[in-house]
Amino acid sequence: MTEPVFTLFACCIPVRGARRSVICDLQRQSFHFIPNGLYEILTEHAGESIAAIHAAYDHQYDEEIVEYFAFLEQHELGFWCGDPGRFPAIDLHWETPERITNAILDVDEHSDHDYGKILAQLDDLGCKALEVRCFHRCGVGDLRPILEAARCGRLRSIDLLIGFGPELTPEALAAVAAEHKRVSSIVVHSAPESRVQPPDPRGVVVAYRTEVIDSPRCCGKIHPGYFTVDLETFAEGRKFNTCLNRKLSVDARGEIKGCPSLPKSYGNVRDVPLHSALAQRDFSALWSINKDQIAVCKDCEFRYICTDCRAYLSDESDLYSKPSKCNYDPYTAEWQPPAEERTSAGSSTKGES
């Protein structure tokens, strides 16, 4: 038998950052920090026996290397085997049959949306996930026309972000989620107190937050709470923009945009069919900006599990600059003070203001 070699499980993929690396476990939806030295071993010395790896580093780091492999085994990230060719790498090619995979529909007290018309058009485009953001105080009655319009069709999940109103009790919202099975989550903003209700039998969580979310300008926040470690996001992120790719939005005034925070409108949904807006030449221009092309992000170990933002940029003149609301520095592996504090001090953004 040949010397055993270490093989990562196909769903465990190392990603190098400037200061440290991560192994993304796409099946268990978690990630583990590792030193860049271990990343080098797993990539440049893949398929080599441990004796060969020790020798490659002139036996200077034998103890550390043994520790590394013990860590990987302990966290079930890989295994020793005699024939690594039996365990090929996962295919990360990404494609989708849907013209649009996700959409945002913004609503405020002045909105006059024809929900039936919008939802039917999103359905035609194959949209499978919708987020409805209501910036104003809502009652259950405000949600009904939206959810009734989504009762049929191919839409698979609806996330609701809605302004607190006295009607929005946990019981009332639990009833909404029970009646409308496509509802995936409900977040109530501007609530008097923060609390999270236990998940219902389908796993739907109703969360109340005190922060006020009264416009698209609140969007674009980057932090680990929004990291998504799964095969689809990881594979998509290697080639496409993790936020804007296959996204379509209708803002509170009915303007059709890639993202409600972007300034460019492709027409009003009252006059322009969504598929016509989508067909305009530059609608999808930002879809292909991936993290390997974005300054700073390209050196970040989180780049394939983090959803990007192209609306609020650290340099408005550079479409490839880092999201302004990201406070992570991959060169020191430290989280800086919240970006809002820095942007209020004068940093510009490209997004709508």
Partner 1 sequence: MKKMERMDDKLFKPLTAAQQKRAGGAVTTQTAVTIYETNNPAPDFQRDGDQE
Partner 2 sequence: MADERDDLFARLSPAGQELAPVIYRFLVPSPLRDATIMRLVESRPYRAGGYVCASFRKPISKCCGQDD
Binding residues for partner 2, rule: CB under 8 A, are 1, 4, 9-11, 26-27, 73, 76, 79-83, 86-88, 90-91, 94, 96, 101-104, 128-131, 133, 156-157, 159, 161, 187, 189, 209, 211, 213, 218-226, 228, 230-233, 235, 242-243, 247, 307, 309, 338
CB of 36 to partner 2, least distance (A): 25
Coil, strand, or helix at residue 249? strand
Of the pair 141, 198, the CB lying nearest partner 2 is at: 198
The option from partner 1, partner 2, none interacting with 148 (CB < 5 to 8 A, set by class) reads none
The option from partner 1, partner 2, none interacting with 233 (CB < 5 to 8 A, set by class) reads partner 2
Alpha carbon dihedral 242, 246, 252, 253, in 10-degree steps, equals 130
All residues at 6 or more sequence positions from 115 whose CB lies less than 8 Å from its CB, including other chains: 145, 146, 148, 149, 150
Q: Binding of partner 1 at residue 87 (CB under 8 A)? A: yes
Q: Binding of partner 1 at residue 159 (CB under 8 A)? A: yes
Of the pair 145, 224, the CB lying nearest partner 2 is at: 224
Q: Are 173 and 206 in contact (CB under 8 A)?
A: yes
Number of residues located near partner 1, criterion CB under 8 A: 46
| DSSP string for 138-190 | --HHHHHHHHHHTSSSS--EEEEEEE--TT--HHHHHHHHHH-TTEEEEEEES
Alpha-carbon Rg for the chain, nearest whole angstrom, is 23
Site string for partner 1, 20-39 (x = CB under 8 A): x-----------xxxxxxx-
Residue 241, Cβ density class (10 Å: 0-12 exposed, 13-18 middle, ≥19 buried): buried
Written as six digits, the tokens of 85 are 């060719």
Strands (E), 203-275: 205-208, 247-250, 256-257
Task: Summarize as ranges the residues that interact with partner 1 (CB under 8 A).
Answer: 19-20, 32-38, 57, 60-61, 64-65, 67-68, 71, 86-87, 128-129, 131, 156-157, 159, 161, 184-187, 196, 199, 203-205, 207, 209, 221, 223-228, 231, 333
